[in-house]
Structure formats: structure tokens, C-alpha cells
Amino acid sequence: MKILLPKEMLNRGRSLWGWTEDEWLETIKKSGRDRHFVTAVAYLLSELDGLHKLGRRNFVFCCLAYRVFGRERLRALFSEVREILLSWGYRERLAGIYVPRVLCELLVTNRSPRLEDLTLELIETVAQRRVTPMGTWCLSAISKVLAGRGIISGPIMRIDKPKRANPELTAGVPEKWA
């Protein structure tokens, strides 16, 4: 990182805070072992909103969230959300592993470590960027927690169609209802 950022500034003829989002993403991609440090610099010095374009989404967002918001603060927040979800009957793996990863994405995207700052619009924006069903299920679970605490008006509902219909389940059911 000590060499990469000054070299990139020299090549571009501009200081770090003058870079475009695409320039930051390009620099992050070629930063190698220092990727997480360069990502944190980009996040703090710019309006970078394209981190979801980097791939390995949860890894990028979790590492950045811990660096920017602090490990202890996030652990307390994850524990609070986990306890609520477990009390509602969610499984430990979803509540304790997957939900915190997606919650990191929400917090980083919103640029705030507070649940109270999350909005329904933000959750829907992040949901549109998701490519896996697990991420959308987690967003739905998080939105239920937020709605339960009165932070948002109501949860988002994610109902994914099954990949193949089970003929036994739809036998005798009118097509409109199936």
C-alpha cells in the first residue's frame, strides 16, 4: 500500500480524493495483500458505493466493517440481532453466521454502524444487488428485526420460486393458485 497509492496518484495526475469510483475499484483489485487497507482508504476518502462489484461480497464488507466501525461494537450488535432471531425460532447458523455477514453489507453501504439508521429503501437497494437466495433470506430476517423494533415500517418479504415444481404438491390445485 505504501507504494501502490502514491504510484497510482502519479499515474493519474490526481490526489486520492479526486479519483472516480471506477479508479478506486481498479486500484483495489490490483492491491493484492493490501486489498483491505486500500478498500478502507477508498471508503473513507470517497463516496465509494460499488464494493458489491468486487466479488466475494461478504468478505469485503465484513473486513471493512470491522476496520471502520470496530470489532467490539459490531459483535455487540450481531449478538443483539442474533438473540432476537433465535427467540423467533431462526436457526443458529443463519442468525449467528449468515445474518451478521449481510448486516455488514447494510452497515457499510449506509456508512453507519447503527441499526436505527437503516431504512427500507437501503434494504431494497441491497436486495437488488444480491445474487444468492441466502443473502435475500438474511435481508428479510434483518428487516423483520428492524420492523419489530419500529425502525422501519415493515419487513421485506422474499419468496423465491422453487427451481422445479413438485407435481405431488400441485396435483388437483388450479393453475392460477399453483
For residue 174, what pLDDT band results from cuts at 50, 70 and 90?
confident
What is the residue whose three cell numbers read 430476517?
A: 141
Q: What is the pLDDT of residues 85-128, one digit of tens each?
A: 999 999 999 999 999 999 999 999 999 999 999 999 999 999 98
Does the pLDDT value for residue 146 go beyond 90?
A: yes
Predicted confidence at residue 51, as pLDDT, reads 87
Predicted confidence at residue 178, as pLDDT, reads 60
Does the pLDDT value for residue 135 go beyond 50?
A: yes
DSSP type of residue 97: I
Kindly list the domain boundaries of the chain, sorted by start residue: 1-48, 69-161
Measured in whole angstroms, the distance separating CA 85 from the mean position of its chain's CA atoms is 18
What is the residue whose three cell numbers read 405431488?
A: 168
Report the chain's mean pLDDT, rounded to a whole number.
Answer: 88
- Looking at domain 69-161, which CATH architecture does it have? Orthogonal Bundle (1.10)
| Most distant CA pair in the chain, distance | 70
- Assign 42 to helix, strand or coil: helix
Q: What is the pLDDT of residues 41-92, one digit of tens each?
A: 999 999 888 888 887 666 789 999 999 999 999 999 999 999 999 999 999 9
